[in-house]
Chains A and B, each alone.
Chain A
Amino acid sequence: MSNKNLKVGQEVASFEFTIEKGKLREVALAIGDLNPIYLDSDAAKEIGYQDVVAQPTFGFIMGLWGGADFDVLVRELDMNPIKVLHGEQEFLYYDEINPGEVLSAHCKLKNLEEKKSMYVFGLETEYFNQEGELVLISRSTIIERK
């Protein structure tokens, strides 16, 4: 349904991401989110977590650092970078994400619509832990204006 040579279901990127305590902290501080469950292992454990955990929007950042950054998306989706907007973002949470884990991620094109004035891309990235369990899904709607 579009002029782009893309197939719905195709893989856009595949990567591993190692969860580091310092990165979890850096992201929380950049947002200004001082909840101790992101910053302080002892405080997080006291509340019942295994260690510090990822801020709820960390999934998008794993994509940027891990292998599905803006340049990759522009190339893989054949987009004009100055016409690109982030339309929607969704996270589905299945388990805690703690330091020391190595997550495997697969980002796929789930939807592609061509409208009069824009393309709308639906991307979905699934994150699995080392036991092969799904821990997080990140869904992004990316808009490219024509």
Chain B
Amino acid sequence: MLNNTANVHNLKVGDEWPVLRKKPIDEVQLVRYAGASGDFNPLHYVESLAQKAGFNKLIAQGMLVMGFVGQAVSGWIPNKFLRRLRVRFVNVTYLGDTISVVGKIIEMREEGQEVVVTSEVKAIDQNGEEKITGLFEAVLLK
């Protein structure tokens, strides 16, 4: 397991980044993120509408869960080295879900004086279901 570091000499393909474990998503977080982000889709805060749309519970904003992914990534590698973050939203996240973010280095490519480090990243819930899958690239000095 890696330490939070940007020293390229400590990194190799296959290394896993430290898991970020979030608290369960509660109503306050959904409302707070709605207000902060400007995503006022009521499926995130009006339960009767979420149920009408076919969900059992309130659903979390996909971008909130991507925010968790961003939190993990910038905990692993300082923001200034981050070049790209790409995710796919593969399953709906619900109120009460406890999300963990996991990541692993899948490629390291030398480009001049720099090394492009590509990692896969996933957000999974308490049952191991994938909510987000994706990758990020960071550029570190050799």
Contact = CB atoms under 8 A, between A and B. Distances in A.
A76 B49 CA distance: 25
A60 interface: yes
Interface string B41-65: 1000000000001000000001110
Interface stretch (B7-15, B75-83, B107-115): B75-83
B54 to A, nearest CB: 10
A53 B79 contact: yes
Interface stretch (A6-14, A62-70, A100-108, A116-124): A62-70
Interface of B is mostly: helix
Interface residues of A, number: 35
Contacts, number: 106
B36 A57 contact: no
Given A31-B67, A32-B22, A91 B84 contact: yes
A69 B66 CA distance: 18
20 contacts: A29-B32, A29-B36, A30-B64, A31-B67, A32-B68, A33-B67, A33-B71, A49-B79, A55-B71, A56-B70, A56-B74, A57-B67, A60-B66, A64-B37, A64-B38, A88-B87, A88-B89, A91-B85, A92-B83, A96-B79
